[in-house]
Amino acid sequence: MKKLFPVILIILILAPIVFADNLTNEVIILSKPEAENQTANLNSENQIKVGVYVLNLGKFDISTGAFTADFYLSLKCENVCPKQDFEFMNGRASSVDKIIDRPSEKFYRIQANLNGQVDLKKFPFDQQNIQIIIEDKKKTIEELEYVPDLEASGIDDSVTFTGWNLEDWKSEAQIHSYEIYNESYSQYVFTMPISRIKINAIFKTFLPIIFIILVMLSSFILDPDKITTRLAMVGSALVASVMFHISLGNQIPPVGYLTFIDKFMVLTYFIILLSFTFNVFLLELYERKKDKLVMQIHRATEFTMFGVVPLLYILLFIFFS
């Protein structure tokens, strides 16, 4: 069993990395060839082809979903563009500079403060969608319809998003209904999926807890006559885990559900509680002078926990990620 200890140690450390790779592979890549199927020819005077070309993105605030965007917006029509007055449905423009003003084409450079919905259920392996959503202020879909212009859309190669991987973009038009007013409006939505850098998430989130658990599990190797030392090691692991969990909670806003790291920490608390209960039980037997039974239990569990605990974490990643 002692020969298996290095193998179990490697499995415990590498398991989050392997499953993190599986999680990130679940990101839906919204590719340009797929988006090309959404192109439509202008066959009506009320249609406007819309293109967005992103020049820069500001820091994404995970607590509010707020970010800043600097981009070109192009509006093209078959003949003469209908009179329209667009607005951003998920924020406000801080500056709008009109570069081209022709009857059939409008071209702007816009800087906007925008926000989006935040889903942290898979934190720290979460993926978010940052969007630019445009809708006309007055004209319903019967009067004005947006059509994606893929040739005029994209993200500049120089754009970087600190702390995140920027995935491929998606451009689409959709209908936004206001049932209370019995009206529907055409919306143009430019979506940029982003995902966390998994190596950063592993080293800053899971690695400290893994080493805390390894230190605690090493207490099972100590002889039963050092049971008070074993209890002190388990207690220290509990304190360290709670403090680390609090620091992780400060990184994200309060949410009404458990994130993946919360589930990971609940399992960690459960393992620490079992270890503490087991050592108290062993201490009670030791105080009753049942040395033979204590040694039998000690030999049975000395290295067994190094196999059971990694298995529990692997099951967590499989069924709850």
Phi and psi at residue 99, in whole multiples of 5°? -100, -40
Task: Tell me the residue range of the domain where 131 lies.
Answer: 31-196
125-172: per-residue pLDDT in tens? 999 999 999 999 999 999 999 999 999 999 999 998 878 899 999 999
In eight-state DSSP terms, residue 27 is S
Q: How many domains does the chain have?
A: 2
Query: What secondary structure letter does DSSP report for 81?
Result: P
Pair 191, 206 in one domain: no
* CATH number where 253 lies: 1.20.58.390
Q: How much is the pLDDT for 1? A: 47
Task: Identify whether residues 86 and 12 lie together within a single domain.
Answer: no
Report the distance separating Cα 156 and Cα 295, nearest Å: 67
Q: Work out the mean pLDDT of the chain and round it to a whole number.
A: 86
* Whether residue 146 is found in the same domain as residue 40: yes
Q: Is the pLDDT of residue 9 over 50?
A: no
86-88/164-166 β-pairing: unpaired
Q: Which residue has the tokens 């259920």?
A: 121
pLDDT at residue 204, as a whole number: 87
CA angle, 73 as apex, 67 and 79 as ends, to 5°?
155
Residue 48: CA count within 13 A, CB half-sphere: 30
75 and 15 in one domain?
Answer: no
Structure tokens that stand for 129 in this block: 């969608």
pTM of the model: 0.78
Tell me: do 213 and 97 sit in the same domain: no
Tell which of 146, 167, 196 closes a domain: 196
Residues 154, 204: one domain? no
**Token pair for residue 201?**
């998430």
The answer to which of 35-44, 97-106, 178-187, 291-300 has the lowest mean pLDDT is 35-44
Instruction: Provide CB contacts within 8 A for 71, sequence distance 6+.
Output: 52, 53, 54, 55, 56, 109, 110, 112, 132
